[in-house]
Every structure is written in structure tokens, then in C-alpha cells.
Structure 1
């Protein structure tokens, strides 16, 4: 059984690894192995279908594909500020994002509220909630690439 402080450590370490992964160039040049240890083998990432990277992405292969599509969508994707609202078995994290679209070169600032289910020290499920998916999609002006 993991504790709230264990879950907080897992989440902080994962977000730090994600920042390094994205800063290094994401899937084009960085090794997904830096992120893989934080996620369960059967992890499920549920993205809003209205976004260019919408759908359910499953397993480490799914997360790798997700990051490929994300890197095609965003030239920059910066987690400007994070607040850990809960670090229980289902953690809740509020993140302020600044991103710039590759397709349109336009920038957008938006919040994401994520629930992350942690099982045995690994993230098993991620559900991001966006305040305005239409505004984010409009900045991207791309066609939707579903997870399949």
C-alpha cells in the first residue's frame, strides 16, 4: 500500500521527468524510458476527443504515440505552475499551461485539472479536464488524430 507522501513523490518525479523529456525535444530525440518507470504497463490516458490528440491512449506504446502526436501539435508546451490538490490514491493536480501551436504559431494559456490514479507506486490512469477544448483546438487548427 502506498501512502499519500509516496504518491506525491511519484507525481513530482514524473512531472519533473516530463519537463526534461519535453525540453530535450520529446519523442523526436528523447528516450521515453525516462518516463516509462512512472507509469503502469497498462496505463490509460483519457484525452478529450475535441483535441488533436484526443482519445484513449493505452500502455507504454500508447503513451509514446500520444507524445508523438503532442509534439506534432505543440511547438512549446510549458507547465508554468502546478498545484497538488490531493495526492491520495486518486491524485488531483491543477496545472497552468502555456503552449504554442506548431501549425498556426499562435500561443494559448490554459488550465488543466488532472486526476491521476496511482497503484503500487505507478500511475495507472490519467484523466485531464480542460476548461475550454474548443479554444485549444482552434489555436491548433489541425485535424483530430484519434488514439484508436
Structure 2
């Protein structure tokens, strides 16, 4: 018996829509994490670079849920202005132009992010984002 998995493109589309909705709803308690979790492999790892307010490795769906709680606390909205996916088997490069609005300061930040991802059998197994300007992220969150 064969199992049909969503395509990589379908998985990415669902993941980014769920992430946007989760943050916009205010995160834990205000939104269900289920739509994000449905896109994740049980062994998923998110590697956030040093220098970001949410740096570190976030492991498993529980780790991603903790990360999303931190993101929801930091940002009141995430808007993907344009995005492209370069898919080569399980390896994916996602380029995004993103507009964030900080929850505490109300400051908006438009920036670019490149994410190296791995998607296997319709589930994300690894996410490695690279922000164009990490100091601008921190500045937007901390205010003037």
C-alpha cells in the first residue's frame, strides 16, 4: 500500500500560511499550532543564527511551537510580500521579502530572508534561515 504525500510546494504553501495566521492571531492560547505541526517531521530542527533575538536550535514540533511562541511575542504580524521556492529533490531554497511589525514597538521592518530547508515525504525536516540584516531585526524589536 503506498502513501500519498503532499508535494514539497504544497507543504511550503501550507506552512507559510499557517505561520502567518498563528502570529497574527497572537500565538499560544489565541491560535492552534496544529496547522504548523501538520507540516513538520517529528525530528524537525530549526537553526536560528546567533545575533537574532531568537537564536538557537529548536528541535521537534514542541521546539518549533516554543519558537513560534517567541516569534508571536516579538512580532504582531509577518507578511510575505514575495516568495520563491527552488526545489531540488528534498533540498529547498526559499527566498522571501518579508514585512514584520514589532508587537512592543509598532515598528515595521521590511527585509529579505533566505531559508535552506529539507522536505521529505511532505514534511519539513530542517529549516536554516539567513536574515539579510540581523541588527535591523533587533533594532525593530527594541525601538529607537
Q: What TM-score, normalized by structure 1, do the two folds share?
A: 0.84
Aligned residues, how many? Answer: 138
**More deviation, 73-82/60-69:** 73-82
TM-score between both structures, scaled by the size of structure 2: 0.87
Relative contact order higher in (CA < 8 Å, ≥ 6 apart): 1
Return the offset for 1:81: 1.4
CA RMSD of aligned residues (A): 1.8
Q: Deviations over 1:85-106 (max 9, x none)?
A: 2353111111111111122221
Name structure 2 gaps, 5 residues minimum.
1-5
Deviation readout 1:45-85 (Å, 9 max, x if unpaired): 01122111111100111111101110111122211211112
The equivalent of 2:121 in structure 1 is: 120
Counterparts of 1:42 and 1:130, CA distance in 2: 24
Cα distance, 1:21 vs structure 2: 2.7
Q: Which moves more between the two structures, 122-131 or 5-14?
A: 5-14
Q: Is 1:59 paired with 2:60?
A: yes
Unaligned 5+ runs, structure 1: 143-148
Cα offset for 1:7? 1.3
